[in-house]
Amino acid sequence: MTSAARQMKIEPGRRFFLSALMMQRPFAFALAVLAVGIPARAQTAQNKDKPAVAADQPSLQPYVIIETSEGEIVLELDAEKAPFMVMNFLDYASSGFYNDTIFHRVVKGRMIHGGGYTRELQLKESGLRDPVVYEGGNGLLHTEGSVAAYRRVDDLNSAQSQFFINSAANDSLDKLKDGSSYTVFGKVVGGMDVVRNIESVEVGFNPALAAGLSPYVPKKPVIIKSVRVKTPLDRAKAEAIAKANAEAAADPVGFRVAQLENECGVKAVETNSGLKFIDCKPGNGAFPMGADTVEINFVGTLVDGKEFQSSKSMGEGPMSLKVDGAIRGLREGLQKMREGGRMIIIVPAKLGFGGDGIPGKVPPGATLFFDVTLESVKHAP
């Protein structure tokens, strides 16, 4: 099929890329992280025996052992997805903060919640650290056996020492009414039977706790004797990921542009309109004009790296496009390319799909990233 024929046969619902008339994702944020050695996996969460753990090899998936009055629970933490929370939890564990605290809230069929109260039901304040930055939406879900940070409902960045272990899948916690969640930072890899035992203890009302907690207080205290770090964290890598995540959260577009600049080895150029482009591979052929037709290979992504459209998804080979038919930002960017070149064109919302976006494809106000290779230019008569 010719390029012209392919252009005519594009389905209407797939032509949003071309123009307004044709229908004009932390990282969690996608981050490139260094490959690390992962310890040998412990036995499954359902194994009632004490699981085997790896030797002392630093990694981003350290193991900890929670020794309780009901037995031991082994966790594998995930500092690649939740570095701030993992470092926070390990710091509390290493300081002995959790020693002689309790699981003060037990909801059968949902969770066991602890790490903040003494056996006298006094909130433990000595040794409390500053709250941790919110890391929800990192791709880790509230599945059975997952461990998550407790925080106040009205403050995303209020997590401190308290945590909970989901004894069943709690899908409703993955996306609350305000779009947030609770930060999942690990999972049970041994002693799930102990979680079940704790989940089954007799509970009741206790006026020492707030109304939402009081009906679920174990009548016989379930003690956290200690939390021991079994295998070490590669803290340098965790800190690097945490720093990158913080930078990405503060300025996601700027962070993505910096990543792409580093990848291409050249700096982005900004035009008077607000368009940015990174000339990864300058071409040596013709410049296209507005009335010209070009053949391009491209991948369009959002700031989180999620693809929303590409020439590959629209058919085999390059896509034929009249330059004037493209959205404004892409139209401007294409006219700065030369045949044979590759350019990343960064289109702000005002030059793209604006505040409307495209339902199911592009969020309102989204900055678009087009990685374009200009294969050929056919000049208008």
Contact 59, 37 (CB under 8 A): yes
CA nearest neighbour of 28 among 336, 337, 306, 286 = 306
d(CA 140, CA 131): 20
Contact 334, 372 (CB under 8 A): yes
Q: Which residues contact 233 (CB under 8 A, 6 or more apart)?
A: 58, 59, 60, 62, 77, 79, 86, 87, 90
Q: Which residues contact 263 (CB under 8 A, 6 or more apart)?
A: 280
How much is the CA Rg of the chain, to the nearest whole Å?
A: 26
**Predicted pLDDT at 284:** 95
d(CA 205, CA 203): 7
Residues carrying CATH 3.10.50.40, the chain: 3-29+250-378
Residues of the chain with pLDDT under 70: 1-55, 211-213, 316
**What is the dihedral sign for C-alpha 217, 165, 136, 173?**
negative
d(CA 76, CA 58): 13
Given CATH 2.40.100.10, say whether it is the number of domain 63-233: yes
Backbone angles phi, psi at 307, to 5 degrees: -75, 135
In the CATH scheme, what is the code of domain 3-29+250-378? 3.10.50.40
d(CA 330, CA 351): 8
Residue-by-residue DSSP string for 122-172: PBP-TTPPPPBPP--SSS----TTEEEE---TT-TT-B-S-EEEESS--GG
pLDDT one-digit tens code per residue, 11-25 = 333 333 333 322 333
Residues carrying CATH 2.40.100.10, the chain: 63-233
**Predicted pLDDT at 212:** 63
Element (H, E) at 237: helix 235-250
d(CA 181, CA 106): 20
- Please tell me the total number of residues recorded for the chain in this structure: 381
d(CA 29, CA 139): 10
**Predicted pLDDT at 159:** 97
Helix-strand-coil percent breakdown of the chain, rounded to 5?
20, 25, 50
**Predicted pLDDT at 211:** 63
User: Does the model's pTM come out above 0.85?
Assistant: no
